[in-house]
Structure 1
Amino acid sequence: MNSTELLMEGVDLMLMGMGAVFTFLISLVIIVTLMSKLLGKYFPEAVPVSKPARRAQPAPDVVDSELIAVITAAVKQHRSRAS
């Protein structure tokens, strides 16, 4: 075999391999498209049911005086330590 015959055989093998890959990819695209259409037809996507929006609970108008006293004492204690 001379180099020309080897080169031609390599080109033939390359074209056969690329043709096989191209054929596989085209068939894969066709099969996936068909499966998508079949699944969409026989198993439609469920429509989500919208729930009414919950109203936010209003903040209580009354503030606990004991809580204010505890917070005030904690702030005073912290400031006395920081000085």
Structure 2
Amino acid sequence: MNSSELMEEGVELMLLGMGSVFVFLIMLVVIVTLMSKVLGRYFPEPVAVPAGRSAAKPKAGAGDVDEQTISVIRAAIRQHRARRGS
């Protein structure tokens, strides 16, 4: 086998490999698109219901932050901004 035959065989193998990868990727895109459409048709996303007036105002509870914590956070923010110079 001389070098021209080797080059020809190498190019042939390269095109065969790249072609098979290209075909696989095209099939993958088509299958994922079809699955998305099928799932969207049979399992649609639930429609969000707007919250009423009662949900607009948060209620006081165990998750509230006390005044001391708020003042410590404010002081830390002021100190950080003073260091940055903004």
Q: Smaller-chain TM-score range? A: 0.5 to 0.7
1:10 partner SS? helix
Structure 1: tracts of 5 or more residues without a match:
58-83
1:3 aligns with 2:20: no
Structure 2: tracts of 5 or more residues without a match:
60-86
- Show structure 1 runs of 4+ deviating over 4 A: none
User: Rg larger in 1 or in 2?
Assistant: 1
CA RMSD of aligned residues (A): 1.5
Q: How many residues align?
A: 57
Aligned residue for 1:16? 16
Aligned residue for 1:44? 44
Distance in 1, matches of 2:57 and 2:11, equals 72
- Length-normalised TM-score, structure 1: 0.64
- Length-normalised TM-score, structure 2: 0.61
- CA shift, 1:52, in A, is 1.9
2:52 partner SS? coil
- CA shift, 1:8, in A, is 0.2
Question: Sequence identity, in percent?
Answer: 63
- CA shift, 1:32, in A, is 0.4
Distance in 2, matches of 1:50 and 1:5, equals 71
Distance in 1, matches of 2:27 and 2:58, equals 55
